[in-house]
Chain A
Amino acid sequence: MEFQAALCQTKPALGNLDQNLSSHMEWLEKAAQEGADLALFPELSLTGYLLRDLTQEIALPLDADPVKDLVARSRDMSIVFGLVEESPDHRFFNSAVFAEGGEILHVHRKAFLPDYGIFEEGRYFASGNQIRPIQSRLGKFGLLICEDAWHLSAGWLQFLQGVDAFLIPAASPARGIDTDENEMSSEASWRTLRSGMAMFFQAWVLHCNRVGFEDGAMFWGGSGVVSPSGRLEAEAPGEEEHMLVQAISGEPVRRARLQLPLLRNARPDLIRRQLAQILEDPDALKGAEAGDDA
């Protein structure tokens, strides 16, 4: 695995699809000039984040023209972009499309929808039900959207399936000013999370967070690339639009897994047995939100 990644830290306009589509094309032009093999955009990069009732109005089926235009652009460069996807049965998903070779190779529908604090995704979106890796010409990728990454189980499923790199489009608002650190507390948590994911799953983490304000909330950017040892290799500046270009290779993944064989010793069989027992035991999940399937 050897490729150049371009993390496009953009500032989508809220609910302005035309403007965002043309800005995607400009960013892709620039990424191509930088020699990028993969361009990664933030969560909901075609629509903006705080959509509320716009969710249904701005949604696109996967065969819509704007999607086709972007997918067509992926002949020489793999592209990950975000949109509201309307399924044929009229459910709405917070989705990220992985396009390659002029086709849609994979669509990840956000599985863990935040609906606490300022987040309202649970009100508008249906949750995805698949955590599957992408076998791309560049390598094997685990695509997780923002909150998905906070559920280590989602990352672990990708890890088990052998991904070399996590692609994490995000729209994370900054919050927590009562701090001595040089970052808001939500930024600090994200930096810890992405380093931890890289370390525990021994894979690259490419985290692309948007910038700009929506109704007073600031998306903090700080997009970063973390190597499989957990080391931050590159980071975009905080508050402005920026293209972060970074070389990614398979060698550090191999070295990390030779040094510490976490994948070999992962014991998914043990986890499945224990999980089944826990889910069948009526008392085991008392007080926890077991989910509909429990």
Chain B
Amino acid sequence: MPESTLPAPPGCNEALAEKVLTAFLREETSKVGFSRAVLGLSGGVDSALVAELAAQAFGPENVLGLALPHRNSAPESLELGKEAAEHAGIQFEVVDVSAIADAHASAGNLDDQDRLRFGNILARIRMVALYDRSAKDGSLVLGTSNKSELLLGYGTIHGDMASALNPIGDLYKTQVWALSRHLGVPLGILDRPPTADLWEGQTDEEELGFTYQEVDALLHRMVDQRFSRKALLDAGFARDFIEKVEGIVRRNQYKRRPPLVAKLANRTINLDYRYARDWGN
């Protein structure tokens, strides 16, 4: 597809998004009696953005960024995580998860080829560390999954997808970049190719097989604007790309929903026992 006809990814009014998301964090936290937050800092742009928003919402002294490196993590991840914390002005600590992750790997008889299993173990150990810290500090865990990742299922259920509140889950990756630039997130973080850093040299876009520019342009039209198949084709998206992305989104729906409960009674939790989470607040 020539550059000139490439459909554009969604825009984002950065000033408005900043205002709404900081208000969201402040209100949805204070109404359940909390005023502090903790998040994992991966050295990537998503967590750097959440750190900026949280610093604004709670005051930087009330936000803790935890770097949770494994001995095989890229050293750059730790450096950029620290830089993100410094720019946001939030508290920063490092908790090395090598020993506990390796113990899990050994208990589960993982070999070097089990990269996916080990990646999931790492993501879930980090979740445990964040939730334990939140219990100690009386804070809430902030999520850092963006809308592109959530739709594509590019995350670990009960791992990096776990949080109490996620301020960026309705922003596509390209919008995360735009808002991060607007908030002055350091260039080293903005320019780094997105990576889960679960193994050496891993990048999101290589693993997914397309760029965020491409897929965000498609997802925005498919999900938000509800383009028909014909309209997507007319907009210039290739049929196999559309079908591939549709399939990925559909296959990963389970990750975006609570577990299924077998229905027996007249009122079943989340099926027809339906209350907002903010019930009473």
Give Cα distance in the complex from A216 to B31, angstroms.
12
- In the bound assembly, the distance between CA atoms of A216 and B276 in angstroms comes to 10
Give the contacting residue for A52; candidates B20, B31, B220, B275; CB below 8 A.
B275
> In the assembly, what is the distance between CA of A177 and CA of B273, in Å?
32
Residue of B nearest to A213 (CB): B27
**B27 with A212: CB separation less than 8 A:** yes
Whose C-beta in chain B lies nearest to the C-beta of A240? Answer: B23
Residues 1-30 of chain B: 1 if any A CB is under 8 Å from the residue's CB, otherwise 0? 000000000111101110110011001100
| B146: min CB distance to chain A, Å | 13
A223 to chain B, nearest CB (A): 17
Chain A contacts for B24, CB-based, 8 A: 213, 216, 218
Q: How many A-B contacts if CB must be within 8 Å? A: 71
Contact of B16 among A13, A14, A184, A216 (CB under 8 A): A184
Judging by beta carbons under 8 Å apart, are A15 and B280 in contact? yes
Closest residue of chain A to B220, judged by CB? A178
**A215 interface residue (CB < 8 Å to B):** yes
- What is the CA–CA distance of A238 and B12 in the complex, to the nearest angstrom? 19
B274 at interface (Cβ–Cβ under 8 A)?
yes
- Which label, helix, strand, loop or mixed, suits the secondary structure of the A interface? loop
Q: Does B191 contact A (CB under 8 A)?
A: no
A50 touches B16 (CB 8 A): no
B-facing mask of A133-175, CB < 8 A → 1, else 0? 0000000000000000000000000000000000000000010
Assess whether A214 is in contact with B278, with CB atoms less than 8 Å apart.
yes
Enumerate chain B residues within 8 angstroms of A284, measured Cβ to Cβ: none
Binary per-residue interface labels of chain A (177-188) against chain B in the complex, 1 for a CB within 8 Å, 0 otherwise: 111111110000
Look across to chain B and name the residue whose beta carbon is closest to the beta carbon of A120.
B274
What interface size band does chain A fall in? 20 to 34
What's the nearest-Cβ distance from chain A to residue B169, in Å? 9
Q: Indicate if A189 sits at the interface (CB-CB under 8 A).
A: no
Smallest Cβ-Cβ distance to A183: which chain B residue: B16
- B277 interface residue (CB < 8 Å to A): yes
List A contacts of B12 (CB < 8 A): 177-178
Q: Establish whether residues B20 and A218, one from each chain, have CB atoms under 8 Å apart when the complex forms.
A: yes
Residue of B nearest to A174 (CB): B20
A210 CB to closest chain B CB (Å) equals 13
Closest Cβ–Cβ distance, residue B213 to chain A (whole Å): 15
Complex contact A14–B278 (CB within 8 A): yes
B281 within 8 A of A: yes
Is A283 interfacial (CB-CB < 8 Å)?
no
Q: Complex Cα distance A50/B13, Å?
A: 26
Given contacts A13-B281, A16-B281, contact A214 B276 (CB under 8 A): yes
Determine whether the beta carbon of B16 is less than 8 Å from that of A182. yes
With A16-B281, A218-B23 as contacts: A180 and B13 at CB distance below 8 Å: yes
Query: Which chain A residue lies CB-closest to B13?
Result: A179
Check if A103 is an interface residue, CB within 8 A of chain B: no
CB distance from A107 to the nearest CB of B (A): 26
Contacts of B28 in A (CB 8 A): 213, 216
Please tell me if the beta carbons of A177 and B280 are within 8 angstroms of each other in the complex.
Answer: no
Known: A13-B280, A213-B27; 7 extra A-B contacts, CB below 8 A, are A16-B280, A174-B20, A177-B175, A178-B13, A178-B220, A180-B13, A215-B276
Closest 10 CB pairs of A and B: A52-B274, A50-B276, A215-B276, A213-B27, A178-B11, A178-B10, A53-B274, A14-B278, A214-B278, A179-B13
Interface residues of B (CB under 8 A from A): 10-13, 15-17, 19-20, 23-24, 27-28, 31, 170-171, 175, 220, 224, 273-281
Please, could you name 12 A-B residue pairs with CB atoms under 8 Å apart, sorted by A? Answer: A14-B276, A14-B278, A14-B281, A52-B275, A54-B276, A177-B20, A177-B170, A178-B10, A178-B224, A180-B13, A183-B16, A214-B276
Binding site for B on A (CB under 8 A): 13-16, 50-54, 174, 177-184, 212-216, 218, 238-239
